[in-house]
């Protein structure tokens, strides 16, 4: 099973098993990763699952709805911003590190 590392703004890290096919957000919630509130349960409706992905491996493109919600996230949006609920885990994500952006709106 792929593992994903969630790094907090203070540098603390949590390595999490992420089953293929679930979202990066779900794997975070399942491991109680702080700062991933996921208030809407993954419907791209709350932006409380905002992460920064600096790793330059190929990820699916940002959809329109993800794009709109990212503009509303409480932590600043950068070129690395993603909604972790919109990232579906695949084998290629093994070893990915994402930075938790902080609490939502």
Contact set with ligand FES (CB under 6 A): 25, 38-40, 42-49, 69, 83, 85
Residue 9 backbone class (left: φ over 0; alpha: ψ -120 to 50; beta: rest) = alpha
With tokens 């990066």, the residue in question is: 24
List the single partner that 49 binds among another protein, ligand FES, none, CB under 5 to 8 Å by kind: ligand FES
Residue 90 interacting with another protein (CB under 8 A): no
| Residue from 13, 72, 76, 94 in contact with another protein (CB under 8 A) | 72
Q: Name the minimum Å distance from CB 28 to another protein.
A: 11
Identify whether the C-beta of residue 69 lies closer than 8 Å to the C-beta of residue 36. Answer: no
Q: Which residue, 55 or 67, has its beta carbon nearer to another protein?
A: 67
Quickly count: other Cβ atoms within 10 Å of residue 78's Cβ: 11
Contact between 76 and another protein per CB under 8 A: no
Kindly list the residues in this chain that would bind another protein in the complex (CB under 8 A). Answer: 19, 21-23, 26, 29-30, 32, 39-41, 43, 45, 47, 65, 68-69, 71-72, 105
């Amino acid at each position: 099973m792929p593992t994903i590392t969630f790094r907090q703004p203070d540098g603390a890290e949590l390595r999490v098993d992420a089953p293929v096919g679930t979202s990066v957000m779900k794997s975070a919630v399942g491991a109680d990763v702080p700062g991933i509130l996921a208030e809407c349960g993954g419907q791209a409706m709350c932006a409380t699952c905002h992460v920064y992905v600096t790793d330059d491996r190929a990820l699916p493109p940002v959809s329109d709805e993800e794009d709109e919600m990212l503009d509303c996230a409480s932590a600043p949006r950068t070129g690395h911003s993603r909604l972790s609920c919109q990232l579906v885990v695949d084998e290629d994500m093994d070893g990915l590190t994402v930075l938790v952006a902080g609490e939502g709106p």
